[in-house]
Chain A
């Protein structure tokens, strides 16, 4: 049986377009406000959402997501709130695939099997674990497999071809291709590393390849959609909420509008 994530990506492909994947941390700016914001992403046009588990040490995130994580953690967000966010979004939008993106230590501490079970029970489709390399991932993949969760691995422009084959063989759902070498955050240009990486990744796998890091505008989304199966946008959504400066209605309108514009972009490939 195809996973939820695979189904959603296949549906986008059948429409001859790239999928749109949006990211927001849970608990940002509050737990309930964060749920509304993720729902707005889906309503605006995201096919898949990644819900971030805010972390004290987000070493792969730039200043924008660090700020959001700080706000969420100072607000007291807990792992149970992240799972609650997944459950609320999955219930409101059964058409969307809901992923969790988290650094490894919170999962390790919560309990690997327990986290997989609770994420699946909440209606989550899978997990992205950006600091868990394939070599350290066996326990997680076993638990994820038992609960029907996909595990999305990241590949980077620095990944050599033999390495790409190892990573894609271990993953499921899709492959997350990092467009640039660096941390999360918006960038003026996506850069030409991404297209080459997507081509090299496709040579190793049948899985869809989605591109993230630095993508923030509809034009960039259209550009990436011309060579990838999905377009991942995170910091641009977070920045809209930061810019709203506490005005939740304005924040929701801004992220819904951006999702809509990006959804047009991925159809312009």
Chain B
């Protein structure tokens, strides 16, 4: 893989970090110097062959890239016969796509001479990946996780602690991902000299949305070539789940110039996008500022953030990356709500037709693919980002399906 495969020269966003009307840098003065340092160091690293070579080596020999592309024929039969191909980010080391970005930013942390990393996590996948990289590089590591999420993703809390990270359960606000980000920002303001905030999604102040996307861009670069090699043509659609939106931006980005390829993001609709209990930010939110950038936000008419709800901790977030906001407004991507029930049915279906247990986050994309396949019919090819594996979700799934009962369902 050449350096250009994951570090593009794309000129979006503009110099101030705007994708159209979205993005920018809404941060306190105390963090301006640190965020500028990240941006400057990233610009230098992007053109440094030694950085590219080191990251390349890690992605290949540590993460296990390239990740496979899997034809799922029995699952496809349920998707109107459309051919469904899974990009297997669940097979990466640590079990999700999150490691791609984490390794890139860990190398950047080393370049900046910082010794401590903090991160937020929802499902725990970004936290596990960050704790993993900190163990590998010898950084001190503190992970902020909403108290609700520490309970529903207890396995990942144990993994992070096993890896030597300190996990802090955040008890403020909705006690989920949004509040974990708030607390990580508070830590960063106080400890910015020694500490890098290894932000885990394509949101936050510039350069994070661009940089995190660039580190995940490898997903789409590999997948596009794999689909061409496998089928002889481009897919009709690329489907991914969207919380903050990192795996979706990673798989979408390489396909943006391919006008014939539909890009479809699946948001968490929780109990239904028409109910108050959902996390469908692009479907139901309005433009505003949250966590450092202008984007769509679930908010009330006074600009107070509305708490989101999803069975999936990783999608339970009332904001979204600004590049997704831009892709929505320009019409280049479509965003659909997927309910908890739809996602859980898709999770069970993939488990029982293919022997692959997906993360609940990724199951939202699978549910979207089932719906889309029925719309497009058997001639269609649909590429799905299987962003993570479902081991961490077994407790939630067991409760949902009654698997702990003596008979199961």
Residues of A within 8 A of B (CB): 55-60, 62, 66, 70, 73, 78-79, 104-110, 130-133, 135-136, 153-160, 163, 167, 178, 181-183
Contacts and interface: CB of A to CB of B under 8 A. Distances in A.
A5 B316 CA distance: 43
A17 to B, nearest CB: 27
B162 interface: no
Interface string B331-352: 0000000000000000000000
B236 to A, nearest CB: 38
Interface string B7-39: 000000000100000001111111111100000
A154 B28 contact: yes
Nearest to B307: A56
B25 A110 contact: no
A160 B29 contact: no
Interface size class of B (residues with CB under 8 A): 35 or more
A130 B304 CA distance: 16
Contacts of A70: 172
Interface of B is mostly: mixed
B173 interface: yes
B33 A159 contact: yes
Contacts of B304: 55-56, 73, 106
A109 B288 contact: yes
Given A59-B186, A107-B303, A109-B301, 10 more contacts: A56-B304, A60-B186, A70-B172, A106-B303, A106-B304, A108-B288, A156-B28, A156-B29, A167-B29, A182-B30
B261 interface: no
Given A108-B289, A153-B29, A154-B29, A60 B189 contact: yes
A182 B33 contact: no
A105 B190 CA distance: 23
Contacts of B289: 104-105, 108, 131
For B190, B297, B304, the residue with the greatest tally of chain A CB atoms inside 10 Å of its CB is B304
Contacts of B185: 59-60
Contacts of B190: 181-183
Interface string B267-310: 00000000000000000001011111000010101111100000
A254 B175 CA distance: 32
B65 interface: no
Contacts of B303: 79, 105-110
27 contacts: A57-B290, A59-B182, A105-B289, A105-B297, A105-B303, A106-B304, A108-B289, A110-B303, A130-B29, A131-B26, A132-B26, A133-B25, A133-B26, A133-B29, A136-B26, A154-B29, A154-B30, A156-B30, A158-B31, A159-B32, A167-B29, A181-B191, A181-B193, A182-B186, A182-B189, A182-B190, A183-B189
B192 interface: yes
B178 interface: yes
7 nearest A-B pairs in the assembled complex, by CB-CB distance: A109-B303, A106-B303, A156-B30, A182-B190, A105-B303, A56-B304, A56-B305
Contacts of B301: 109
Contacts of A55: 304
Contacts of A136: 24-26
Contacts of A155: 29
Interface of B: 16, 24-34, 172-173, 178, 182, 185-186, 189-193, 286, 288-292, 297, 299, 301-305
Contacts of B24: 135-136
B345 to A, nearest CB: 33
A123 B186 CA distance: 33
A28 B190 CA distance: 27
B121 to A, nearest CB: 17
B26 A104 contact: yes
Contacts of B16: 135
Contacts of A110: 302-303
Contacts of A58: 182
Nearest to A163: B32
B29 A159 contact: yes
A183 to B, nearest CB: 5
A130 B172 CA distance: 21
B186 A62 contact: yes
Contacts of A132: 26
B27 A133 contact: yes
Given A60-B189, A108-B288, A135-B25, A158 B32 contact: yes
Contacts of B193: 181
**Chain A CB within 10 A, most for which of B27, B32, B301:** B32
B319 to A, nearest CB: 10
Contact of A131 (B28, B178, B186): B28
Nearest to B305: A56
A160 B36 CA distance: 11
B309 to A, nearest CB: 15
A187 to B, nearest CB: 11
Please indicate which of the listed interface residues A59, A60, A73, A167 has the most CB atoms of chain B within 10 Å of its own CB: A59
A147 B28 CA distance: 25
Contact of B30 (A62, A106, A107, A158): A158
Contacts of B186: 59-60, 62, 182-183
A42 B256 CA distance: 58
A154 B305 CA distance: 24
A196 to B, nearest CB: 15
B190 to A, nearest CB: 4
